Amino acid sequence: MIRRFSFVFLLSLPAQSIAQDAKIQDAVEKKLATIRFLTSLQNPTGGFQGGAKDAQATLRSTSASVRALKYLTGKKTADAVPNVKDCAAFVMSCYDPKTGGFADTPGGKADVALTSIGVMAAVELEIPKEKFAKAMDYLKENAKTFEDVRIGAAAVEAWGVKDCPFKLEDWQAIANKELSPMTPPAQNGGARVIGSIVAFTIRLGLQKETDSKPEAIARLLDRGQVADGGWCKEGEKTSDMETTYRVMRAYHLLKQKPAKVDKLREFIGKCRNADGGYGVKPGGASTPGGVYFAAIITKWLDENVK
């Protein structure tokens, strides 16, 4: 009797409703599989490895995993990350209090990118700022290129732009050098540069999104969207998730959306692997970085696309 009632009940439901429920269930199962992939990479140190075959946790993979788990679970970092205290301890084990720099592994060599990543991870894990305050001095002294100040801007944003212990005019001067006739057209990887500069200036409060003609910039970025749905580096013909992430951050900050949202979602889907993780390109091995890019881009699309 129960089976007959259930069958009749299902037949009475609109086909569209059943299909929608199935789609939602599939999305939930995929998200859970991705979370399981990430948590499987956490080792006894509390840090996260870059892949199943890696033997050592790294700062890069840990930072990406921490943020991805936050977005995937919808929880606070303290609740989203397993063994969160050990994870925070691992991040601090990559910090050198003498120089203020962060390395990818404990005792490793520090650089600007890793120090920026370390600051972001430490702030996300709610580690008291005084424990890594010298990292900001490290960034001030060592950021010399646009790539340095671009990722440094993410660290400053995480730290708090108003609380930044140094002036940002020098970084703006470095960034302005990228605005030259040498910047490639948007269709040939230039969207990566344009998106990076837009994100840099807005994140640091050097230019408000309302002052930057957001719709015009969005349409310029649209020109760089490749047929596969993402964005590519200069000289490349196929998209990668890291470049797509850079461009999509600009759209997000400008409160705009790309012209071909469905194609972008298709590209993200093609980067997904059977293990639940994502590669930086279709067919690429799953990494925490790939998962983070997929999670944050999807989040932005869901927020900005109505």
Residue 181 or residue 241, greater confidence? 241
List of residues 6+ apart from 92 with CB closer than 8 A: 122, 127, 131, 132
Q: Provide the phi-psi class of 236: left if phi over 0, else alpha when psi is between -120 and 50, else beta.
A: beta
Question: Which pLDDT belongs to residue 7?
Answer: 47
Residue 193 and residue 159 share a domain:
no
Q: Which tens digit of pLDDT belongs to each residue from 25-41? A: 888 899 999 999 999 99
Residue 8 or residue 15, greater confidence? 15
The whole-angstrom separation of Cα 79 and Cα 286 is 24
Domain with 236 in it: what CATH number? 1.50.10.20
Question: Which pLDDT belongs to residue 2?
Answer: 39
Residue 67 and residue 134 share a domain:
yes
Residue 97 lies in a domain: yes
pLDDT of 1 strictly over 50:
no
Closest-CA residue to 245 (of 303, 293, 190, 298) = 293
Q: Which tens digit of pLDDT belongs to each residue from 129-171? A: 999 999 999 999 999 999 999 999 999 999 999 999 999 999 9
Q: What is the mean pLDDT of residues 256-281?
A: 97
Q: Quick one: pLDDT band at residue 15, thresholds 50, 70, 90?
A: low
The DSSP line for 157-199 is HHH-GGG-SS-SHHHHHHHHTTSSTTSPPGGGTHHHHHHHHHH
List of residues 6+ apart from 85 with CB closer than 8 A: 46
Q: Burial level of 268, CB count in 10 A (0-12/13-18/19+)?
A: buried
The whole-angstrom separation of Cα 3 and Cα 65 is 43
Q: Quick one: pLDDT band at residue 176, thresholds 50, 70, 90?
A: confident
Residue 103: how many CA atoms within 13 Å on its side-chain side?
13
Residue 230 and residue 197 share a domain:
yes
Instruction: Specify the pairing of strand 48-49 against strand 57-58.
Output: antiparallel
Buried b (16+ CB within 10 A) or exposed e, 257-266: bbeeeeebee
pLDDT of 304 strictly over 90:
no
Residue 305 and residue 188 share a domain:
yes
The whole-angstrom separation of Cα 174 and Cα 178 is 8
Residue 28 lies in a domain: no
Residue 260 and residue 161 share a domain:
no
Question: Which pLDDT belongs to residue 184?
Answer: 65
Residue 188 and residue 125 share a domain:
no
Residue 191 and residue 134 share a domain:
no
CA dihedral for 119, 125, 126, 130, sign (positive or negative): negative
Q: Burial level of 160, CB count in 10 A (0-12/13-18/19+)?
A: exposed
**The whole model's pTM is what?**
0.89
Residue 224 and residue 299 share a domain:
yes
| Residue 204 domain boundaries | 184-306
Residue 161 and residue 80 share a domain:
yes
Domain boundary pick from 143, 177, 211: 177
Domain boundary pick from 177, 211, 233: 177
Number of independent structural domains in the chain: 2
Residue 48 DSSP label: E
Question: Which pLDDT belongs to residue 147?
Answer: 95
Q: Quick one: pLDDT band at residue 16, thresholds 50, 70, 90?
A: low
The whole-angstrom separation of Cα 123 and Cα 273 is 30
Domain boundary pick from 150, 177, 204: 177
Q: Which tens digit of pLDDT belongs to each residue from 39-87? A: 999 999 999 999 988 889 999 999 999 999 999 999 999 999 999 999 9
Q: What is the mean pLDDT of residues 87-105?
A: 98
Residue 161 and residue 64 share a domain:
yes
Residue 306 and residue 189 share a domain:
yes
Q: Quick one: pLDDT band at residue 5, thresholds 50, 70, 90?
A: very low
Q: What is the mean pLDDT of residues 182-210?
A: 81
- Pair of tokens at residue 175: 């960034």
